[in-house]
Amino acid sequence: MANALTGDFDVVAEFGVLAVDRLLAAMHQTERFLHSFSARVDDNPHPTRPGTPAVIGVIDAFGDPIANQQQIGTPNPIPGPSAVSDAVAAHLGMLLNADLLLPPKVIPSHISGIAQIQVFPPTVRVPDNTGTNLSVRMNIMARFIPDKDTASLAEFIRGDLEIIAPINKVAAGHVHVIDIDFKADQAIINFTPSFSSQPLSAADLVGINLCIKNALQTAFLPSSVVLPSSITNVQLKILPQTLAVLLDMNSHPSNPASVTNVFHAGDDDFAFV
């Protein structure tokens, strides 16, 4: 039954932004999120290989990032069915049927080279009062070695990367399933440098932001989470300094706009009704 706390939904769980940050920090500490990675960057048009990721992570035989940049070659991100016979490749979740996907249309940044990146724990914030957008910010340190005869950037860069996107474009609820499919084409990417070994021009920053956006757009694979059978629908909503999870236990029309109340106290990590 609809009420002032849960709106049209049967159950609403609210999580404070600081509580979400602590959860993300714990996941980062246990390496559920990347701490560091090495990558081949090739954000150029490939007419014969449409859909090639702009950034491809490179690891050694133990699954760790390659520290020696001279050992980073040009990996093949789409090895085909033969990859399942390789003891290492078979466990890396490589895309075997990439030819069935529609490659996104991107504007290339033409950044090309080797990147070695360290990622700090992400934090979230509510960037506006629309109730739909979520911001994720993370501090990163990077070393970039450009390919020969390509545009150079500062070799060492540190700064904050912020990604703002509509929450319904990140995760959408369906019957018994949450689809997580981040749409970078509808996201705002903003890298703000705090240090660079040589000055970064405005054109450099435009290229970096475009390369990051293309990397997310061409390399982020969708995933899904199966819900318990007792849940028929789930939606996500942003409230002031709060992330809300809206649940239905029975099939009936529910509108996320009907949930407007922040009922957890300021010091509470979460609350649900």
Identify the pLDDT of residue 96.
46
Please provide residue 81's backbone torsions phi and psi, each rounded to the nearest 5 degrees.
-60, -25
Identify the pLDDT of residue 54.
83
State yes or no: pLDDT of 94 exceeds 60: no
Phi-psi region at 241: left, alpha or beta (left = phi > 0; alpha = psi -120 to 50): left
Higher pLDDT, 110 or 133: 110
CA angle 186-191-195, nearest 5°? 175
Identify the pLDDT of residue 144.
94
Least confident of 10-19, 82-91, 149-158, 263-272: 82-91
Give the pLDDT band (50/70/90) at residue 100.
very low
Tokens coding 94? 């490589």
Q: Are the beta carbons of 115 and 144 closer than 8 angstroms?
A: yes
- Amino acid at site 111: I
> With pLDDT > 90 as the criterion, what percentage of the chain qualifies?
28
Tokens coding 41? 């960057």
State yes or no: pLDDT of 120 exceeds 90: yes
State yes or no: pLDDT of 171 exceeds 70: no
Identify the pLDDT of residue 227.
77
Identify the pLDDT of residue 163.
92
Q: Where are the domains of the chain?
A: 11-226
Burial of 79 (0-12, 13-18, 19+ CB in 10 A): middle
**Element at 199 (helix H, strand E):** none
State yes or no: pLDDT of 107 exceeds 50: yes
Measured CA distances, 66 to 27, 35, 73 (Å): 23, 13, 10
The answer to pTM > 0.85 is: no
Higher pLDDT, 195 or 131: 195
